[in-house]
């Protein structure tokens, strides 16, 4: 069964507490929190303060996805806000090993996020040091985009690379995941499905999470 990580970016922020309650009552495994700085991506979302509020509502894993430049300046703030996992973008980190070591020493699960136009081979050296790859199946910056079909071949390539090295790194797919395409994504060997609009804009979010969770 896949790990399901609803993205709060698509939640109703006027009712954030209710949205978190719904996720707690659902089969969702992780809370995915998207941080955007208006520099690395064209959009701005929210910062550690919101993560801190969300943290108070749940015991589930808080998976923070940093779409920001100079993530080393903020890693500690997100740890203090209650992040369990922290992903940094490979494209934003000239010294990626250093960023990952910082995340590990702060006691969080380290993740590396990768954009659709960055070669999968660029992940090779970092894989042994990380907990998950946040594989972008859309260009980051906005929720509600369409899954890029070329992602399928790239996820398979990543799966092979992880398996050949005998590693336990989780593959998390982020962007454009729907009830319709989730099975084909899981078939590539993905472990975690992020879903924003598919969950929060659904008529029955808990039932939608159940549908995603039932895929195998």
| Active site residues per annotation | 34, 174
Smallest Cα–Cα separation from 174: which of 52, 67, 21, 96?
67
Nearer CB in complex with ligand DX5: 100/135: 135
For residues 170 and 182, give the distance between their C-alpha atoms in angstroms, rounded to a whole number: 16
| Region of 72-80, 118-126, 151-159, 195-203 interacting with ligand DX5 (CB under 6 A) | 195-203
The residue assigned the tokens 């929060």 is 200
Nearer CB in complex with ligand DX5: 14/101: 14
Crossing angle (nearest 10°) for helices 205-213 and 16-25: 40
Nearer CB in complex with ligand DX5: 79/89: 89
In the stretch 57-86, what mask flags binding to ligand DX5 with x, by CB under 6 A?
--------x---------------------
Q: Are 24 and 56 in contact (CB under 8 A)?
A: no
Out of 48, 71, 175, 205, the only residue in the binding site for ligand DX5 (CB under 6 A) is 175
Which sign, positive or negative, has the C-alpha torsion 57, 63, 64, 70?
positive
Q: Smallest gap, in angstroms, from Cβ of residue 194 to ligand DX5?
A: 5
Subset of residues 103 to 162 that bind ligand DX5, contact rule: CB under 6 A: 138, 140-145
In the stretch 32-51, what mask flags binding to Zn ion with x, by CB under 5 A?
--x-----------------
Q: Where are the beta strands (DSSP E) in 21-169?
A: 30-36, 61-67, 85-89, 109-114, 132-136
Q: Smallest gap, in angstroms, from Cβ of residue 164 to Zn ion?
A: 27
């Amino acid at each position: 069964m896949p790990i399901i990580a609803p993205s709060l970016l698509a939640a109703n922020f006027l009712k954030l507490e209710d949205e978190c309650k719904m996720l707690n009552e659902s089969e969702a495994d992780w809370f995915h929190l998207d941080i955007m700085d208006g520099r690395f991506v064209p959009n701005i979302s929210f910062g550690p303060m919101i993560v801190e509020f969300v943290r108070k509502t749940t015991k589930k894993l808080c998976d923070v996805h940093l779409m920001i430049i100079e993530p080393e300046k903020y890693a500690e703030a997100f740890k203090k806000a209650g992040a369990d996992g922290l992903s940094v973008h490979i494209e934003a980190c000239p010294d990626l090993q250093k960023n990952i070591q910082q995340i590990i020493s702060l006691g969080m699960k380290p993740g590396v996020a990768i954009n659709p136009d960055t070669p999968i081979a660029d992940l090779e050296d970092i894989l042994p040091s990380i907990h998950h790859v946040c594989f972008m199946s859309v260009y980051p910056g906005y929720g509600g985009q369409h899954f890029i079909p070329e992602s399928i071949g790239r996820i398979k390539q990543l799966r092979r690379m992880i398996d050949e090295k005998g590693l336990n790194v989780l593959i998390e797919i982020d962007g454009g995941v729907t009830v319709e395409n989730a099975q084909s994504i899981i078939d590539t060997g993905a472990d975690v499905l992020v879903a924003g609009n598919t969950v929060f804009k659904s008529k029955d979010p808990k039932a939608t999470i159940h549908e995603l969770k039932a895929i195998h």
